[in-house]
Amino acid sequence: MNLPIELGVNIDHIANIRQARFTPYPDLLEAVALIEKAGAHAITLHLREDRRHIQDADVYAVRKALTTRMNFEMGATAEMVKIALDVQPHDVCVVPEKREELTTEGGLDVIGQFERIQKVTQELSRANIRVSLFIEPDMEQIRRVPDIGAPVIELHTGTYANNTGEAKWRELERIQQAAEFAHSLGIQVNAGHGLDYQNTVAIAMIPTIRELNIGHAMVARAVFVGIEAATREMLVLMQAARADA
């Protein structure tokens, strides 16, 4: 019997559309209700240091309204820890953050930033927030995760998503091996970044992966079919892939 696979829908790009014109629409809470109605398991949102899409008030409003889980993505800063402790999301995913990047580029360096990430993980864990670390499918990085104390990792699938041909399949193999290794250490393995309606199938077939966090491709699909249908389509695809795994 395969482990079930869950979907966290990243709503940052819905906020991006709103912030492009500073209008009150599209309403994030309406989107959250439709995503949850479609059966998604979590709502993911990233409060960036520059507040380019999600705003502080959004985090509080979504936390209050949601009926599933909040997966709060944040940089490992004192400002974000303070907000997370106040908001009390179910999960925090710690991500690296650079001001000038288009989106999160690369995973956390849990070796180079060990102390800072361990401190943030401990502060959040003490408040019963489950901490996930967004990292590359790299064995050396994964090996240090138990010492940091995070129960979950999210494997960065960006290199897999952005490559073609041989390089894509090599990266898929790296993700499979990394997932298996982390799972053997007792770490829950999630994955995300750059996943779409085609490339998600192979990732959802990796039996040790428990949750996928997907945003851009789903919001793009929602332009044509609406966010509720876009969410259902992704869930059907993921669950069919897992059943075939």
Active site residues: 46, 73, 193
Orientation angle between helical segments 78-87 and 56-65, nearest 10 degrees: 30
CB of 191 to ligand PXP, least distance (A): 8
At 182, which amino acid appears? A
Cα separations (Å) of 9 from 39, 84, 123, 205?
10, 19, 26, 19
Q: Is the peptide bond before 26 cis (omega within 30 degrees of 0)?
A: yes
Q: Which two tokens stand for residue 114?
A: 């060990």
Query: What is the chain's alpha carbon radius of gyration, rounded to the nearest angstrom?
Result: 17
Distance CA 206, CA 179 (A): 8
> Looking at beta carbons only, is 1 or 50 nearer to ligand PXP?
50
* Residue placing its CB nearer to ligand PXP in the complex, 1 or 130: 130
Q: Write b or e for each residue in 25-41: b if 16 or more Cβ atoms lie within 10 A of its Cβ, otherwise e.
A: ebebeebbbbbbebbbb
Compute the least distance from the CB of residue 220 to ligand PXP, in Å: 9
CB of 50 to ligand PXP, least distance (A): 14
- Pick the closer one to ligand PXP by CB: 1 or 132: 132
* Residue 99 per-residue DSSP state: T
Q: 153: which 2 tokens?
A: 């990792």
Helix-strand-coil split of the chain, %, nearest 5: 50, 15, 35
- The first and second tokens of residue 193, run together, are 């970044």
Binding site residues, ligand PXP, CB under 6 A: 10, 12, 46, 73, 93, 95, 103-104, 134, 154, 192-195, 213-217
Of the candidates 8, 9, 6, 26, the one whose C-alpha atom is nearest the C-alpha of residue 17 is: 26
Residue nearer to ligand PXP on the CB measure, 205 or 212 = 212
d(CA 27, CA 8): 18
Q: Cβ of residue 37: shortest distance to ligand PXP, in angstroms?
A: 20
**Smallest distance, Å, CB 91 to ligand PXP?**
11
Q: How far is the CB of 19 from ligand PXP (least distance, A)?
A: 15
